[in-house]
Structure 1
Amino acid sequence: MTERASTRCLLFADVAGGVRLAVKLGEAEAGYAVERCLNRMSRCAEAYSASGLELRSDVLVAHFPDADSALLAAREMRERVRALPPMSGIKLVLRAGVVPDPEGEDMEEDPEKLAARLVESHNPDTIAVSENLSPLLSPSMRRLLGRLDESSSAVPFPVLELGEAPPPTPAELRLDALQAQKQLRVSFRGQIWLIDAAHPTLLFGRETGNDIVVSDPRVSRQHARIELRAGLFYLADSSTNGTYLLEEGSAEHCVKREEFALSEKGHIGCGFSVADNMLDAVAFAID
């Protein structure tokens, strides 16, 4: 959550089709049509807290406080430009590029130039996004991105495209924010693991490939896991002997070949009762 909030993003968008329109209708009429697009685009940018907003002939440049806002603004800009009717059979369309714009960091190339290169190297009506923007997005927004064909691109880094699916609802974004803030602290034999939005799964079992390795013959090789999903932490058992769960204020019970939503605090026994072997029990607590 902190990373997404602290990294600004830059949007570079232009209106394609103005030159063809000028040839057909004259520069004055074409200029008026492009200006109408830019006005719609600037209102979208302002609605998503843009700063440093600049309009230059057929180009809009704006900075946004976070990646979600930049992509939501770009998507709405595209929809508003699409809604304008064609003039003399010529349709004006938006093309945009979005890149991270970290403050106070030295970059090999200016963010605006990078975003402009994204625009120039891809088809009109495309919102191109540099791949390093993806980790800065909420999970709901990240699901809207797809990979662009790199064969026709002159940009020397991976590029994603903002697709046509509907944007996340306010409820989905609130859930993302809640999930990004939640942490489950897991401890075993003096070591501590954190389960959160960045590391949503923790595996434990007898096999060495697990995050937590419990050396007990009653423990299956891949015994169980804890997952963060939709703001809740789930204990999911996949073992032979089941997973014993002792939560604060509740009686111990066995979770076997099913999953169970964890409460605030407790202990987990892999194939054995927590009361019988507290030394090898896995402790957890929601921060």
Structure 2
Amino acid sequence: MNERASNRCLLYADVAGGLRLAVKLGEAEAGYAVERCLNRMSRCAEAYSGSALELRPDSLVASFADADSALLAAREMRERVRALPPMSGIKLVLRAGVVLESEGGGDRVAAEKLAASLVEGSNPDTIAVSDALSQILSPSMRRMLGKTDEVASPAPPAALAPLTPSAPALGEAPPPPPSPADSRQDVGQAPKQMRVSFRGQNWVIDAAHPTLLFGRETGNDIVVSDPRVSRQHSRIELRNGAFYLADSSTNGTYLLEEGSPERCVKRDELALAEKGHIGCGFSVADNMSDAVAFALD
């Protein structure tokens, strides 16, 4: 099995509170409310390139190419469900479990059961990941995770519950070593770096730190406080020796590279050239002062 296939992830998410709502409002009204949540969740899965999407009466299952995409999709699902107002005092919330598909021994049903077991008996509003999946998250994604809590489960070892993006990732423990995918470089190639700057601050994207997150939420690497910016707006990723701009926002991400006209990326990705500027939800040409600059070393 190649490494990309072995890193595929399966996300299981369900909507809690539907039974209480059915008792109070009736099954038809409760079913409508849960369906509205699931529709929002499915759009989030599609925004992060989720595949093999399955919708059930009160749950969703989707497959993702990598751990970061699965976690970002789960976080946005939770935010969109949170944004829905309570009905008759009852608030619907999301619970999600994410595992490597390989943890199911190649059996999707087994992987789904493992993901569902991570949130059984857990508190509402929880996103839990398996220990194996937590080891291949990018350093940037680890920084977005909140304090770790063990999730009771018949599954193999502990899970993480990223509840508070602003809290230190993984408590006070030192960060784990980068995964083979993060640290691998092609033989004979010089290490690649991209330097990114925004409002006097600088970041480096390289094999040790292959992902840089932009958004309005404080857990992002680059926080852009603008109403046009989504909570998790976009990211730059280093993959297979190339840098990509991936958008997951509502308003799109604008890219202005030297010698090229400005382009808008929306729910898609583009390979980056050597130098340019990025606008989160706004045109770089109209607002260069708030644009993110990047340059390939």
- Fold match by TM threshold 0.5: yes
Residue identity matched to 1:13:
A
Residue 148 (structure 1) shift: 4.0
Residue identity matched to 1:59:
S
1:237 is matched with none
State the alpha-carbon separation in 1 of the partners of residues 5 and 106 from structure 2: 19
Residue identity matched to 1:231:
D
> In 2, are the aligned partners of 1:7 and 1:100 still within 8 Å (CA)?
yes
Residue identity matched to 1:27:
E
Point out where structure 1 has 5 or more consecutive residues left out of the alignment: 167-175, 186-193, 197-228, 234-287
Are 1:56 and 2:56 matched, yes or no? yes
Are 1:231 and 2:201 matched, yes or no? no
Are 1:102 and 2:77 matched, yes or no? no
- Number of aligned residues: 182
> In 2, are the aligned partners of 1:9 and 1:66 still within 8 Å (CA)?
yes
State the alpha-carbon separation in 2 of the partners of residues 157 and 84 from structure 1: 34
Which stretch of structure 1 is more off in the superposition, 143-152 or 126-135? 143-152
Secondary structure of 1:136's match?
A: coil
Are 1:41 and 2:41 matched, yes or no? yes
Say if 1:92 and 1:139 are closer, same or farther in 2 by CA, change over 3 A: same
Residue 135 (structure 1) shift: 2.4
> In 2, are the aligned partners of 1:15 and 1:94 still within 8 Å (CA)?
yes
State the alpha-carbon separation in 1 of the partners of residues 52 and 63 from structure 2: 6
Say if 1:21 and 1:108 are closer, same or farther in 2 by CA, change over 3 A: closer
Secondary structure of 1:53's match?
A: strand
Residue 165 (structure 1) shift: 1.7
> In 2, are the aligned partners of 1:97 and 1:127 still within 8 Å (CA)?
yes
State the alpha-carbon separation in 2 of the partners of residues 127 and 27 from structure 1: 27
Secondary structure of 1:49's match?
A: coil
- RMSD over aligned Cα, in angstroms? 3.5
Secondary structure of 2:91's match?
A: coil
Residue 182 (structure 1) shift: 5.2
Which stretch of structure 1 is more off in the superposition, 11-20 or 140-149? 140-149
Identity over the aligned pairs, expressed in percent?
A: 67
Residue 89 (structure 1) shift: 0.3
> In 2, are the aligned partners of 1:122 and 1:153 still within 8 Å (CA)?
no
State the alpha-carbon separation in 2 of the partners of residues 104 and 82 from structure 1: 30
State the alpha-carbon separation in 2 of the partners of residues 104 and 114 from structure 1: 7
State the alpha-carbon separation in 1 of the partners of residues 159 and 182 from structure 2: 27
Residue 181 (structure 1) shift: 5.6
TM-score normalised to structure 1 length: 0.55
> In 1, are the aligned partners of 2:120 and 2:153 still within 8 Å (CA)?
no
Residue 152 (structure 1) shift: 4.7
Which stretch of structure 1 is more off in the superposition, 101-110 or 50-59? 101-110
1:88 is matched with 88
Residue 149 (structure 1) shift: 3.4
Residue identity matched to 1:159:
A
1:127 is matched with 127
> In 2, are the aligned partners of 1:8 and 1:67 still within 8 Å (CA)?
yes
Residue identity matched to 2:140:
S
State the alpha-carbon separation in 1 of the partners of residues 95 and 137 from structure 2: 20
Point out where structure 2 has 5 or more consecutive residues left out of the alignment: 167-178, 193-203, 209-297
1:71 is matched with 71
Residue 109 (structure 1) shift: 8.3
Secondary structure of 1:81's match?
A: helix
Instruction: Summarize deviations over 1:135-179 as a string: whole Å, max 9, x none.
Output: 22211012233554337555441111223327xxxxxxxxx9x97
Secondary structure of 1:162's match?
A: coil
Residue identity matched to 2:15:
V
TM-score normalised to structure 2 length: 0.53
2:234 is matched with none
Q: How does 1:1-287 map to 2 (within 5 A)?
A: 3=3, 6-102=6-102, 105=105, 110-146=110-146, 148-150=148-150, 152-165=152-165, 180=183, 231=206
State the alpha-carbon separation in 2 of the partners of residues 80 and 51 from structure 1: 20
Higher Cα Rg: structure 1 or 2?
1
Instruction: Summarize deviations over 1:220-269 as a string: whole Å, max 9, x none.
Output: xxxxxxxxx75399xxxxxxxxxxxxxxxxxxxxxxxxxxxxxxxxxxxx
